[in-house]
Amino acid sequence: MLELIIFSSLNGLLYGLLLFLLASGLTLIFSMMGVLNFAHASFYMLGAYFGYQISRYVGYWPGLLLAPLLVGGIGALVERFGLRTVHKHGHVAELLFTFGLAFMIEELVQMVWGKIPVDYRVPELLNFSAFTLFSTTYPAFRIFMLLMSVAVFIALLLLLTRTRVGLIIRAALSHPHMVGSLGHNVPLVFMMVFGVGCGLAALAGVIAGPALVTQPAMAASLGPILFVVVVVGGLGSLAGAFIASLGIGLIQTFAVALNISVADVVGHLGITLTRDSIGGDLWVATVAQVAPIIPYLLLVLVLIFRPKGLMGDRDT
Amino acid sequence: MSAVIQRGGVLTPWLVAAAVVIVLPYIFSSGSSLTMMSLMGFAIVFALSYNMLLGQTGMLSFGHAVYYGLGGFMTAHALNVIGAGKWPIPLPLLPLVGGLAGLSFAILFGWVSTKRAGTAFSMISLGIGELVAACSLILRGFFGGEGGISTSRTSTLRLFGINFGPQIQVYYLIAAWCLLCMAAMYAFTRTPLGRMCNAVRDNPERAEFVGYSTQMVRFIAFCVSGFFAGVAGGLAAIHYEIVTASVVGAGPSGSVLLMAYIGGISFFIGPVIGAVLMTALQISLSDYTGAWMLYVGLMFVLVVMFAPAGLGGLLLMHRPLLAAGTWRRVLPAYALALVPASLLFVGGVLLVETSHHLLVKASEGSAMRVLWIPYDAKSPAAWAGILALLGAGLLALKHIGPKVADAFHGARLEATSKLSAP
pLDDT tens, position by position, A22-75: 888 888 888 777 788 888 899 999 998 988 888 888 877 887 888 889 999 999
CA distance B158 to chain A (A): 34
Lowest pLDDT segment from A27-41, A287-301, B352-366: B352-366
Query: Which residues of B fall within a CB distance of 8 Å from A226?
Result: none
Q: Which of A107, A287, A290 best tests the B interface by mutation, with the highest count of B CBs <10 A?
A: A107
Identify which has the larger pLDDT, B373 or A189.
A189
pLDDT at A313: 67
Quick check: A111 and B115 CB within 8 A?
no
Which residues on chain A are in Cβ contact (under 8 Å) with B124?
299-300, 303-304
Determine the Cα–Cα distance for residues B36 and B56; give it in Å rounded to an integer: 28
Cβ-nearest to B119 among A91, A108, A296: A91
Rounded to whole angstroms, the Cα distance separating B167 from B120 reads 43
B122 to chain A, any CB pair closer than 8 A? The answer is: yes
Of B43 and A127, more confident: B43
pLDDT at A31: 76
Q: How many CB atoms lie within 10 A of CB B60?
A: 22
Nearest to B134 among A227, A292, A307 (CB): A292
DSSP readout, B6-24? HHHHHHHHHHHHHHHHHHH
The per-residue pLDDT for range B74-88, each reduced to its tens digit, is 888 888 888 777 677
Is a pLDDT exceeding 60 seen at residue A276?
A: no
Higher pLDDT, residue B179 or B86: B179
Closest CB from A100, A289, A316 relative to B138:
A289
User: Residue B307 gets which letter from DSSP?
Assistant: -
CA distance A296 to A192: 31
A90 φ/ψ angles, rounded to the nearest 5 degrees: 100, 175
State the average pLDDT for chain A.
81
CB contact under 8 A, A36 and B300: no
Percentage helix, strand, coil, to 5, in chain B?
Answer: 80, 5, 15
Please give the single-letter amino acid code of residue B325. Answer: G
Interface check B331 vs A, CB under 8 A: no
Query: Quick one: pLDDT band at residue A284, thresholds 50, 70, 90?
Result: low
B135 to A293: CB separation less than 8 angstroms, yes or no: yes
- Write phi, then psi, for B370 (nearest 5 degrees): -120, 120
pLDDT at residue B232 in the model: 92
Please tell me the distance in Å from B121's CA to the nearest CA on chain A: 9
Q: Per-residue pLDDT tens for A205-220?
A: 888 888 777 788 888 8
Helix pair A2-33, A218-233: axis angle to 10 deg: 80
- Whether residue A142 contacts residue A126, with contact meaning beta carbons closer than 8 Å, is answered with no
Domains, in order of start, for chain B: 2-311 (1.10.3470), 319-420 (no CATH)
Contact indicator for A95, A230 with CB cutoff of 8 Å: no
- What's the pLDDT score for residue B140? 73
Nearest to B60 among A95, A108, A228 (CB): A95
Query: What ipTM score was computed for the predicted complex, to two decimals?
Result: 0.82
Q: Are B214 and B202 in contact (CB under 8 A)?
A: no
DSSP three-state, residue B164:
coil
Q: Stretch B143-168: mean pLDDT, rounded?
A: 73
A14 and A145 in contact (C-beta within 8 Å)? Answer: yes
Sign of CA dihedral B218, B219, B223, B226: positive
Q: Which residues of B251-269 are buried (b: 16+ CB within 10 A; e: fewer)?
A: ebbbbbbbbbbbbbbebbb
Is B123 or A195 the better-scoring residue by pLDDT? Answer: A195
For B270-307, write each residue's pLDDT tens digit: 899 999 988 888 888 777 777 778 888 888 888 888 88
Tell me what percent of the residues of chain A surpass a pLDDT of 90.
2
pTM of the model: 0.85
Say if residues B59 and B120 touch (Cβ distance below 8 Å).
Answer: no
**CA dist., res. B253 & res. A295, Å (int):** 20
The predicted-structure confidence for A22-34, as pLDDT tens digits, reads as follows: 888 888 888 777 7
* Secondary structure (DSSP) of B325-354: TGGGGGHHHHHHHHHHHHHHHHHHHHHHHH
In single-letter form, the type of residue at position A5 comes to I
Q: Where are the alpha helices (DSSP H) in B89-213?
A: 94-113, 118-138, 140-143, 167-190, 192-202, 204-210
Range with the poorest average pLDDT among A256-265, B93-102, B389-398: A256-265
Residue A281 binned pLDDT confidence (cut-offs 50, 70, 90): low
**What is the model's pLDDT at position B3?**
43
Q: Residue A228 — pLDDT band, cuts 50, 70, 90?
A: confident
Closest-CA distance, A152 to chain B, in angstroms, reads 28
**For A81, nearest residue in chain B (alpha carbons):** B305
CB-CB neighbours of A186 under 10 Å? 19
User: Per residue in B241-281, pLDDT tens?
Assistant: 888 888 887 888 888 988 898 888 888 888 999 999 888 88
Name the band, by pLDDT with cuts 50, 70 and 90, for residue B5: very low
When mean pLDDT is compared across A35-49, A257-271, B258-272, B400-414, the lowest value belongs to A257-271
pLDDT band at B100 (very low <50, low <70, confident <90, very high): very high
Among B115, B58, B64, B41, smallest CA distance to B225 is for: B64
Q: What is the mean pLDDT of chain B?
A: 82
Q: With both helix axes pointing from N to C terminus, report the angle between B31-51 and B167-190 in degrees, rounded to the nearest 10.
A: 20
DSSP tag of B372: T
Helices A218-233, A238-257: inter-axial angle, 10-degree rounding: 120
Cross-strand partners of B369: B374
Q: Which residue has the higher pLDDT, A267 or B8?
A: A267
Q: Which of A97, A228, A297 is nearest residue B301 as measured by Cβ atoms? A: A97
**Which among B142, B297, B305 has the least Cβ separation from residue A86?**
B305
A36/B308 touch (CB, cutoff 8 Å), yes or no: no
Transcribe chain A into DSSP letters: -HHHHHHHHHHHHHHHHHHHHHHHHHHHHHHHH----TTHHHHHHHHHHHHHHHHHHH-HHHHHHHHHHHHHHHHHHIIIIIIHHHGGG-HHHHHHHHHHHHHHHHHHHHHHH-SSPP--PPPGGG-SEEEEETTEEEEHHHHHHHHHHHHHHHHHHHHHHHSHHHHHHHHHHH-HHHHHHTT--HHHHHHHHHHHHHHHHHHHHHHHTTTS---TTHHHHHHHHHHHHHHHH-TT-HHHHHHHHHHHHHHHHHHHH---BHHHHHHHTT----TTSTTTHHHH-BHHHHGGGHHHHHHHHHHHH-TTTTT-SS--
Question: What's the pLDDT tens digit per position in A130-141?
Answer: 667 676 777 778
Instruction: Specify whether the CB–CB gap between B106 and B70 falls below 8 A.
Output: no
Residue B273: half-sphere exposure toward Cβ, Cα within 13 Å: 18
> How far off is chain B from A124, nearest CA to CA, in Å?
29
CB spacing of B140 vs A224 below 8 angstroms: no
Average pLDDT on B124-142 reads: 82
Task: Determine, for residues A224 and B135 on separate chains, whether the beta-carbon distance falls below 8 Å.
Answer: no
- Percentage, residues of chain B above pLDDT 90: 10
Between CA A122 and CA A128, with CA A125 as vertex, the angle to 5 degrees is: 75
**Helical pair B2-27 and B31-51, crossing angle rounded to 10 deg:** 140
Q: Inter-chain contact A303–B257, Cβ cutoff 8 Å?
A: no
Smallest CA-to-CA distance from B263 within B252, B254, B255, B272 is with: B272
Position A302 pLDDT exceeds 80 = yes
> Of B164, B169, B167, B134, whose CA–CA distance to B152 is shortest?
B164
Rounded to 10°, the helix A186-208/A60-77 angle is 150
**Which residue out of B66, B137, B138, B256 would a mutagenesis test of the A interface target, given it has the greatest number of A Cβ atoms within 10 Å?**
B138
Report which residue type is found at B314: L
CA distance B131 to chain A (A): 6
A186-208 helix and A140-162 helix, angle to the nearest 10 degrees: 170
Alpha-carbon gap, residue B305 to A84, rounded angstroms: 10
Report whether A83 contacts A194 (CB < 8 A).
yes
Q: How many CA atoms lie within 13 A of B385 on its CB side?
A: 12
pLDDT attached to residue B201: 87
Residue B365: predicted pLDDT: 65
Burial profile B317-339: b = 16 or more Cβ within 10 angstroms, e = fewer? ebebbeebebbebbeebeebbee
Q: Nearest C-alpha of chain B: how many angstroms from A107?
A: 6
> How is residue B156 annotated by DSSP?
S
CA proximity to A275, closest of B244, B131, B74, B140: B140
Contacts of A114 in chain B (CB under 8 A): 360
CA distance linking residue B178 with residue B341, whole number of Å: 35
Cα–Cα dist A76/A68, whole Å: 12
Q: In this complex, do B359 and A112 lie within 8 Å of one another by their Cβ atoms?
A: yes
Q: B370 forms bridges with which residues in the sheet?
A: B373
Helix (H) / strand (E) element for B27: namely helix B2-27
Taking contacts as CB-CB distances below 8 angstroms, the residues of chain A near B360 are 111, 114
Question: Which of B130, B141, B258 minimises the CB distance to A281?
Answer: B141
Q: How far is CA B138 from CA A285, A288, B85, B141, in A?
A: 7, 11, 28, 9
Q: Which residues of B170-190 are buried (b: 16+ CB within 10 A; e: fewer)?
A: bbbbbbbbbbebbeebbebbe
Cα angle value B93/B99/B102 (rounded, 5°)? 155
CA A180 centroid distance within chain: 30
Residue A119, pLDDT > 80, answer no
Which residues in chain A are contacts of B61 at CB distance < 8 A?
A: none
Q: Which residue has the higher pLDDT, A173 or B273?
A: B273
Q: Does B278 touch chain A (CB under 8 A)?
A: no
> What is the pLDDT, as a whole number, of residue B2?
42
CA distance B232 to A266: 41
The nearest CA of chain B is from the CA of A148 a distance in Å of 30
Query: Quick count: other Cβ atoms within 10 Å of Cβ B295?
Result: 17
What was the pLDDT predicted at B422? Answer: 54
Residues of A in contact with B253 (CB under 8 A): none
Which of A75, A65, A74, A25 has its CA nearest to residue A201? A25
CB contact under 8 A, B120 and A303: yes
pLDDT tens-digit readout, A85-111: 888 887 788 888 888 898 888 888 888
